[in-house]
Structure 1
Amino acid sequence: MSIKNKIKNFFTMDEEYEYVEESMEQPDFPATTARDNVVNLKRIEKMNSKVVLCEPRTYNEVQEIADNIINRRAVVINLQRTDLQQAKQIVDFLSGTVYALNGKMQKLGSQTFLCVPDNVDVSGSISESFAEVEEFNKGW
């Protein structure tokens, strides 16, 4: 075999390919039971349906609240029993946590917030009365 033929065979690889004509018929799949295709929706529903209610009194409790958000649970935080400075720190910490998880934080009331991870969708909004907004904004 000449060098020219060796190079031709190397680049074309004619000898290595085997052409097989395929038919357009449906392939025969083994019979599967209906159980193989079943997804348990109750289990999925339970994983995503937990809501945690929290009423922290100090900033020291914020890590526990953040852990719930990290574990993909929606959290409602009531800050009515927290002093103003610590409430601001809690909101700042949790807003950073929610942002890092691509979640959302929504104000539900004057001192109530909803923090959700990215697996929870929130629709709608809650409007506040003008008097409540003015009173709350004085402190914040």
Structure 2
Amino acid sequence: MSIKNKLKTFFAVDDEYEYEYVEEEELQVPEAASRKERRENVVSLKAMTNSSKVVLCEPRSYSEAQEIADNLVNRRSVVINLQRVEHQQAKRIVDFLSGTVYAISGEIQKLGPHTFLCTPDNVDVSGSITEMLEEDNREKGW
């Protein structure tokens, strides 16, 4: 034996392991277990409907528009009552929220003379309230 071999055996660098290769048998999953796995992919509709919310806001100044926009960004619908805000402030709030709604691909609709509905893109709104609005718009100058 050479000195190199003696050092290898002394420091146990030499691998003396035997490797045994065993072929894995195909595991057969019972049908009941596979059906259970399929059921785990199903999402309950009740769970999905609980996640949507509508927030009612009645701002008193333009500074509260950011809070309303945050609700929209968090995918919540917002109904805004602007009766307690001055007309100029109300216009600014509506302009700001229109930009927010546009940015998130949402929608804004006027429900009454001082009431608006802002919705994110995950909410579909059908129908409209136009008969009364046309008269009020002429009077108020919206």
1:123 alignment counterpart: 126
Distance 1:102 1:61, change over 3 A: same
Percentage identity across aligned positions? Answer: 63
Distance 1:72 1:129, change over 3 A: closer
Give the partner amino acid of 1:41.
Answer: L
Give the partner amino acid of 1:43.
Answer: A
1:92 alignment counterpart: 95
Unaligned runs of 5+ in 1: 1-27
Deviation at 1:37, TM superposition (A): 3.8
Whole-Å separation in 2 of the counterparts to 1:97 and 1:38? 34
Deviation at 1:43, TM superposition (A): 1.5
Indicate the SS of the match to 1:47: coil
* Aligned with residue 112 of structure 1, among 101, 115, 119: 115
2:45 alignment counterpart: 41
Whole-Å separation in 2 of the counterparts to 1:129 and 1:108? 8
* Aligned with residue 56 of structure 2, among 39, 53, 59: 53
Whole-Å separation in 2 of the counterparts to 1:87 and 1:36? 49
Task: List per-residue Cα deviations over 1:103-129 (Å, max 9, x = no partner).
Answer: 000111111110000000000001216
Indicate the SS of the match to 1:109: coil
Indicate the SS of the match to 2:118: strand
Deviation at 1:132, TM superposition (A): 2.3
Give the partner amino acid of 2:94.
Answer: V
Indicate the SS of the match to 2:43: coil
Deviation at 1:35, TM superposition (A): 3.5
* Rg (Cα) greater in structure: 2
Whole-Å separation in 2 of the counterparts to 1:130 and 1:100? 27
Indicate the SS of the match to 1:75: strand
1:79 alignment counterpart: 82
Deviation at 1:36, TM superposition (A): 1.9
Unaligned runs of 5+ in 2: 1-27
Query: Size of the alignment, in residue pairs?
Result: 110
> RMSD of aligned C-alpha atoms?
1.8
